[in-house]
Amino acid sequence: MSDSEFFAEHGYLIKERLFSDADLDRIQVALDELTDLATRAPEDSDRFKFSIFGHGGDRRQVQQVADPHEFGGAFIALGRDPRILDLVEELLGPNVLLYYSMLMMKPPAGGAASPWHQDLAFYTHDRARLLNVQVYLDAATRENGCVRVVPGSHREGLRNHYDGELHTGVVQGDTRDFDAREVLVEVPAGSIAVWHSLTLHSSHPNNSDRPRRAIAFGYKDPSTALLSGSFNASETRQVGMIVRGVDPRGQLLSAL
Q: Tell me the backbone φ, ψ of residue 220, rounded to 5 degrees.
A: -150, 160
Burial 179-207 (b: 16+ CB within 10 A, else e): eeebeebbbebbbbbbbbbbbbbbbbbbe
In whole angstroms, give the CA distance from residue 220 to residue 226.
11
pLDDT for 256 equals 47
3-state DSSP assignment of residue 44: coil
* Residues 6 or more apart whose Cβ sits within 8 Å of residue 145: 106, 111, 113, 203, 204, 205, 206, 207, 208, 212
Domain 3-244 adopts which CATH fold? Answer: Jelly Rolls (2.60.120)
Distance between the two ends of the chain, CA-based, in angstroms? 34
Summarised one tens digit per residue, pLDDT across range 219-233 is 999 999 888 655 554
Q: Which class for 253: exposed (0-12), middle (13-18), buried (19 or more C-beta within 10 A)?
A: exposed
Residue 73 in contact with residue 84, Cβ under 8 Å? no
Residues of the chain with pLDDT under 70: 42-46, 49-60, 228-238, 253-256
pLDDT number for residue 251: 75
Task: Indicate yes or no: pTM above 0.85.
Answer: yes
What gap in Å lies between CA 210 and CA 123, rounded to an integer? Answer: 32
Cβ contact 124:186 at 8 Å = no
- What is the phi-psi region of residue 229: left when phi exceeds 0, alpha when psi lies from -120 to 50, beta otherwise? alpha
Residue-range domain boundaries for the chain: 3-244
Residue 237 is predicted with a pLDDT of 52
